[in-house]
Amino acid sequence: MSASAVDILARLIAFDTTSRNSNLALIAWVEEFLRARGVASQRVANADGSKANLYAVVGPAVPGGVVLSGHTDVVPVDGQPWSSDPWVLSERGDKLYGRGTADMKSFIALALAHVDEALAAPLKRPMILAFSYDEEVGCLGAPTMIAEIVRDLPRPAAVIVGEPTLMKVVSAHKSVRSFVVEVTGREAHSSLPEQGVSAVMEALKLMNLVVELGREAKLVSHAHFTPATMTIGRVEGGTAANIIARQCSFVWDLRCPEMEQGDAIEARFRAAADALDAEIKARVPEGGVSVTRRSKTPGLAIAPESEAETLARALTGDNETRVVSYAAEAGLFQQAGLPAVICGPGSIEQAHQPDEWIERSQIEEGAAFMRRLVQRLSA
């Protein structure tokens, strides 16, 4: 099975599913893979049909199944010093290299590689595949698929989200939300700043607020997590050194242990943005500030007695309690009433890096996990 998983992984890596691109070619390949085995699948497309989630039930359509959840998109390779083609799976020593090997096409490959074994087994409960789009840009795709699974399928008992955890059980993750802030001023010659409003200089006030809020957040401790974090990931603005900038925009990211803390921080930022908007408009009516929430993903709360925790610990033998600072789709499943944990092959330390890799031993360990899952679903 592990060799089959590597073959499938090579096919999946060959699809450049960077989040800015469509994932439909990969989805079509998975559909055909399942169709050839008599397994029907369901697409859940985005608004313009350029991307799609996919889910499929392997086994009897009865309650109590286990969802294997993975995202098909990957982060960009732009500007990264890769020593091999990121879209061709290559093996050097005991490591497999390629974009998505760790995050997280290996888990998808393992799930697909065990479809035949699941079909041959006397399953009493189903294995449910759930593959999403746009996880890397804010978990944007999964909510519509999760809604369909909850609405249309017999209720699953547990969800395993296969983010890279070295096949250890992760019980909780932070929430995340991100914002696009656009500031509009008025252009003027830089020798006459009183005739214009610099969008860049006004935007700095809000960027400094993000820094200040981040300092304050470091003072708030949490039982399991590190403190909340705020980062500004992208800034654009201005046209020349001698022109007062008309436009400036920035994107910032907020990760909190609890949604309530995130709500409070967002409210403070929006209040400051509203005040700055009014101030700018008083000087130049065409100017102002807009704040657009780009994403809002709930955290995964620790639920030690949940079916997902019990299952994952039985399959791995891992009894430690772990939490992670990154966000994932597990919180979305939990919010929809489906118990979830994170457990998958590879290490998050290799994710998003040049020469991303996964150890072959992790594929082997993931294959053993899948075999034990099929046996459990057949018991």
Q: Which residue has the tokens 């559909």?
A: 31
Question: What does the block give as tokens for 276?
Answer: 């700055």
The C-alpha torsion from 43 through 49 and 51 to 54, rounded to 10°, is 0
Q: Are 245 and 261 in contact (CB under 8 A)?
A: no
Q: Amino acid letter at 269? A: F
Active site residues: 73, 135
